[in-house]
Structure formats: C-alpha cells, structure tokens
Chain A
Amino acid sequence: MAPSVLATTSADLGMGNQRQRIIDAMIDSCAEKTYAATTITDIVSRARISRTTFYKQFDDKRACFDAAVGHCIEQLQGVAAAAHDREDTPADAVRKGTAAVIQALAERPGLAQLLTGDAIAVDPRVIECYRKATIPPLEGLWSRGEGEAQAYSDPRLAFGKAQVLILNQIAIGKAERLPELLPELVYLAVSPFGGHEAALHQSQLATEGTAADVAAGER
C-alpha cells in the first residue's frame, strides 16, 4: 500500500538525516574545540537531538568520530574524482584533483581540521586509511593500468608531508586560506610518481591558473 511505503521511506530518511546531523555536529565541535574536548553533550546540543537518539545511531563518541572520518574521506574522494577526466595526463589529473580537494577543505575547514589534526590524535593509524583511499587511484593514473608505476619517492610519505602542512595552516588559524598552499600541495601530490620536474611544472600551473581549470570545468 502506497501510504505505508511512503511512511517507511520518510522514517528511513529521518534516520539518515539524524545520522548526518550528528556527524556534522561532531565535525563542527572538533573544529571548534578538538576531539579531546568534545563531549556527547556538545554533539547532541549542536545536532538538536536527544541523547537517546545519539545512542541509537552510535555506541559512543569514538564510533561517531570514526563515522565522521569515513564520511569526510568519502566526500573528498568524490570531489577529487569529479575534478578530472580520461583525457587529462596523469600529472594534470593529479593537479586538478588536488586543487578541488583543497578548495573543498577551504570551504569547510572543519573537514581539514578533523582529517589532519583530530583523526591523527585519536588514532595515528588513520593515516593508513587515507593512503588506501588515495595511493592506489594515484598509481592507477600513472600506470594507465599497465603494470606498476615507477616511483621517484615514497608516496606514503608525501601524504604525511601534506598533512603536516595543512595542519600547520589550520593551527595558524588560516584554514580559509588553505589554497595559498596549493603550489606546495600539488608539488607533493605529483612528485612521488611524476618526479621533481613534472611536480614543479604542475605546481606553477596551479599558481598561475586555477582560473583555467575553473573555465574548463564550466565548459
């Protein structure tokens, strides 16, 4: 019967919305006062839900935090993938993906704070999750599906370097100015498989013309 189907659907949607509101509240609270200082009370008051509702969705603060980290990684993967297409060279694709991710982080600094600061503090092994989410796609871009890509330097380390730079920018309180770091971050993203020269070249392209990428995206 149609009405009951509708009812079920909206109830499901309600659950999904609540879960998302809780995750958003966790991200915002961590951005404001760090994970260590965030309490369940902070989260439920920000999300405008009851404690009971919180505990229906998550076992505890840590479980909620892990879900928030997973959500952020997924969002950014989507942003990076949508920023380039098959016709781009590997180096161009990496530059465009990096620029899009940094733009997304600048628009919502809480995400950057969560991923580069709090997530590492809560469990340093989280950096392995980031690597699993990024290095295989990167390698795939460079090898074009033909065997292994040659590495100039350790791509795992490049990730740590980027994390430290972003964390520092946020610690200074300039999260909205993250795009100023774009030349360095593009350099880091390209250099493991592209080498120093290609990385510098892409870094210069990023400096000169995010404008060109924006125009290409609007086409």
Chain B
Amino acid sequence: MSEKILYSFSAIFDSPDQVSHAAEKVVELGYTKFDVHSPYPLHGMDSAMKLPPSKLGYVALVFGLSGMIGTLLSLWWVSAIDYPIVIGGKPLFSFPAYIPIVFEITVLSASIATVLAMLFVFFKLPNNSHPLHGTEYMKKVSSDKYGISIQAEDPKFDEASVRKLFESLQAREIYSIYWDNEELTHKHKIFEPKFITFLFVVAIISSGTAYFTLNKLMYMIPFNWMMDQPKQSAQQKSLVFSDGFGMRQPVAGTVARGFMPYEFKGQPDVAGEKLVNPIPISKESLKLGQVKFDIYCSPCHGYHAEGDSRLRGQFPNPPSLHSEKVRSWSDGRIFAVLTEGQNIMPSYATQLSVDERWAVINYLRVLQRALNAKETDLQ
C-alpha cells in the first residue's frame, strides 16, 4: 500500500478555445473516462464532449406531476371524506379553490426533488475525498484555467500516449494525480470517541430543550395558553371591594326577568283571598299539571292525591288532598302552600314555575272532582 495508485493525467490550458479543441480531440481518440474542468460552464462543451442530454428534466416532470396529483388527492380526501364541512356555500370538493395550493406544492416538490436528485444521485455529492481535491490542478480550474483529466481507469489509457497527446495540444502544465492512500485505507468506525461524544452532546441538548419547553416554558407568560388572566373569578377574594367579595349583590329592588316576587310571604290566608288562578283549564294545562304532579307531588301524596304513596305509615303520614279542608281551599290558598311549603312539606317554588304551580292546582281539582263527582257530571 505504500505505492500510490494513479487516478488520472490532467492537463491545464489557458483559453477556452484550447480546452474545447482538446476535448474534441480526446473524444476523437476514443477516450471515455475523462472530464473537462472549468471555473464556469463552457458553451458547446457538451457537444465537444459528446455528452447525452441531461435527464434531470424527467425528474422534475415526475416529481412535479406526483406532487400535483398527490396534493389534489389529499385535498379531496381531507375535504370530502375525512372532514366534510361546508364552507362559504362551496361544494365539499371545490377544485378552483384548490388550484393555488396544488400549484405551490407542485413547484415545491419538483424543485426540491430536482435539486436533491442532481446533487446526491447524479453527482454523488457530497464527496470531499475525491482524488482531484486538494490538488494544484483543482486550484487552477476553480479560478481562471481550464483542464482536461483522463482517468487511469480508461481502457485506452497509457501514460506515454496521454502525455504525448497533451503536449501536442499545447497544454501549459501536466499533472499526474494519485489516489490518497490514507483516504483509501481509512475505515470509519461507529464507536469512535469523537462520534460518541457528539451523540452524547446531541442527546443532552435535545432532551434538555424538550424538557425546558414542555415543562417550564409552557408555564411562563406569555406562552402559558392565556392561563394567567387579569380578571376576578366568582369565588375569589376581591382586593377592590371593602367587603372582600368578588361576587357583588344586585342593586336593591332588582327583579330577575320572569320572576315576580311573591307578595304574601307568611300570609297564606291573605293569599287565598287575593290570588286568582290565571291559567284557564284546558287540555294542555291539565296535561302539564299531571306531568308535574306525578313528578313532584305524587312521591308523598300519591298518584291519586289520596296520600297513598310508599310513605304511608311514616310519621307524619302524608295527608290525603281529598279532605274537606283542602277541597274548600281556594286556588290561591293552595298556591301559597306550593310556594312556601307547610309543616314538613318544603317550598316547591324553585322546582315549579308560577304557571306550572297553577297547572298543578288545576290538575289537583280534577283529581278531587273524580272522587267526589256530582250528579250533574253524569249528564
């Protein structure tokens, strides 16, 4: 391995005309593994070198088309299948509105794919260990000279004849370029200390960043999802009001909408005289009364108001509503009982609205009448 392996013979030329002529000559002589190097693209060099046309256009075509079709299909799937929501009266699959996005993705996928294909597939870059790197030849062709390099691998390669060819073409300088033995024999190991250290540092940084972001940063203002808001919650202590309550009392005399205050508190008899049942007896009101009676009254008084519920036998026994006393009460007097409660019976003002209480009373009258029917009812 001590002897160097020849990679190529390379010649430097001064003018683009010379190198172009040289390239034609090299092709003519049947060399195939050669290359022309110049600091910028030379016109007509592809025909001088007899290069086939570039195939990168096909890459752009294929990836552009697949980007286009793929985007259109995914837009269709998202908007018509997975998440069908009508927006602005447009059809679920509204093609005209998708044109901008489809176009952008077509351009994006074609551009990225073409460039990546060129660099990594066609050119096999990155490659900094090519034998031409680090040579005087490369220095010259990168700036202001033009060069031809014929590789030793070429079947027609022969040191003497190539040298003679270059000399006949009036090459300014001729270099023999060798493979770098060290690079040829160097083996990359996975467990190099440098690589392990690199992995370790990457792990520390990425996990540290993730920890900080998820567990610390997201709880700091202003990243904390607006959790910290300068407002008074209902049960919080207030620093503004002298009584310390965050929730305020309504202004005296405030009446909630739909809730007239009850005037006869503690005066059931007055209520019985003054209150008049505003709800006319109708099929609807009786139906409503029955529903509400069955829910709220029947647990104690029974479905037929006879006090015949499951609670019969307890103390105090739930009373029957067919007694002479209750039957002779006016609607208003019963309303007072429903509103304020009586003895062990609580108020039903929060469960039954005013209208519902009157409807329950209407229904109760029906039950009472059913047990104490009059002769005239039969007619």
Q: Do A and B come from one complex?
A: no
B residues near A (Cβ < 8 Å) are none
Binding site for B on A (CB under 8 A): none
